[in-house]
């Protein structure tokens, strides 16, 4: 796994928005509102990082980037180099929170609310203890 990657993103400008694709990474797409190139670039960076993280997690081979001079473009398209620093993306993805729905008896939930118990925090602490992580 590399720490840095850089790929060509193709910004496709249309009346209804900006579509962003990565020719070297099929399935890696994002978009932004028409005229908002800054958002398109920000979204491209996020999409690239998450796509590469997913490829790493799935042990998929990560292709070499095609040189910008080899990218075929249409008249409404602009190539942009997008780079990502993977250690921060990996750390963020691994510490992201996921929502879990729990069921409690109504009386227990009412007591927890009355005592201002942070059930999410309590569940995390209890789960860590149960798994031997605390």
- Residue spans of the domains in the chain: they are 4-95, 98-134
Enter the pTM of the model: 0.74
Helix axes 37-57, 86-95, angle to 10 degrees: 70
Residue 56 has a pLDDT of 95
Nearest CA among 82, 78, 64 for reference residue 10: 78
pLDDT of 96 over the 80 cut: no
Could you tell me which residues come within 8 angstroms of residue 18 by beta carbon, excluding any fewer than 6 positions away? 11, 12, 31, 32, 33, 34, 35, 36, 37, 39, 40
Domain boundaries 4-95, CATH class: alpha beta
The pLDDT confidence band at residue 66, using thresholds 50, 70 and 90, is: very high
Most confident of 81-85, 115-119, 126-130: 81-85
For the CA atoms of the chain, what is the radius of gyration? 21
């Amino acid at each position: 796994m590399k720490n840095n990657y850089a790929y060509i993103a193709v910004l496709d400008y249309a009346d209804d928005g900006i579509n962003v694709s990565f020719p070297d990474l099929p399935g890696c797409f994002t978009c932004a509102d028409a005229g908002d190139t800054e958002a398109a670039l920000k979204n491209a960076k996020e999409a690239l990082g998450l796509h590469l993280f997913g490829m790493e997690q799935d042990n998929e081979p990560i292709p070499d980037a095609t040189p910008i001079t080899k990218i075929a473009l249409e008249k409404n398209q602009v190539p942009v180099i997008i780079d990502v620093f993977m250690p921060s993306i990996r750390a963020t993805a691994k510490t992201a929170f996921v929502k879990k729905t729990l069921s409690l008896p109504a009386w227990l939930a009412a007591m927890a609310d009355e005592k201002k118990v942070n059930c999410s925090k309590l569940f995390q602490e209890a789960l860590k203890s149960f798994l031997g992580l605390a």
